[in-house]
């Protein structure tokens, strides 16, 4: 677990069931972003993910109990390398808190935050 307030990039596993646990009551915000194929150092965003993350980060960035993590998926032609029955907008953005997790989805945030950031 990185120190609170830091942003660390972690790899997403083949299955979208990474288990990240918050300790000491810290809030863990996971940003899921998409890297264009053959653009290793650049990240593009899909489904309002950047805006959703930005809104959460702005609210909590000064909170010492918040830990930010990033998950990367590679995509080509705006289609993530996901199981065929899972669409990009169905990928949840989870905020893990002690004792449970609060799911967010890109689709929900896109409606509210698409023009932010």
CA distance 107 to 104: 9
- List, for residues 82-100, the tens digit of each pLDDT value: 445 544 444 444 433 333 4
Q: Distance from CA of residue 2 to its chain's centroid?
A: 16
Helical axes 49-60 vs 106-113, angle rounded to 10°: 80
The structure's pTM equals 0.25
Q: What is the predicted pLDDT for the residue at 57?
A: 52
- List, for residues 22-77, the tens digit of each pLDDT value: 344 444 454 544 444 443 333 333 333 444 445 555 555 555 555 554 444 433 33
CA distance 79 to 46: 9
Helix and strand numbers (H, E) in the chain are 2, 6
Strand partners, 74: 35
* Average pLDDT score over residue span 94-117: 37
Q: What is the predicted pLDDT for the residue at 20?
A: 35
């Amino acid at each position: 677990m990185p120190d609170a307030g830091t942003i660390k990039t972690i790899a997403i596993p083949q299955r979208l069931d990474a288990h990240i646990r918050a300790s000491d009551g810290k809030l863990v915000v996971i940003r899921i972003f998409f890297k264009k194929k053959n653009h290793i150092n650049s990240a593009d965003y899909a489904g309002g993910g950047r805006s959703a993350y930005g809104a959460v980060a702005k609210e909590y960035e000064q909170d010492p109990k918040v830990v930010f993590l990033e998950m990367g998926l590679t995509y080509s032609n705006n289609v993530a390398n996901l199981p065929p029955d899972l669409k990009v907008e169905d990928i949840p953005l989870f905020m893990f808190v002690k004792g449970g997790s609060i799911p967010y989805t890109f689709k929900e945030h896109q409606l509210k935050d698409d023009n932010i950031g």
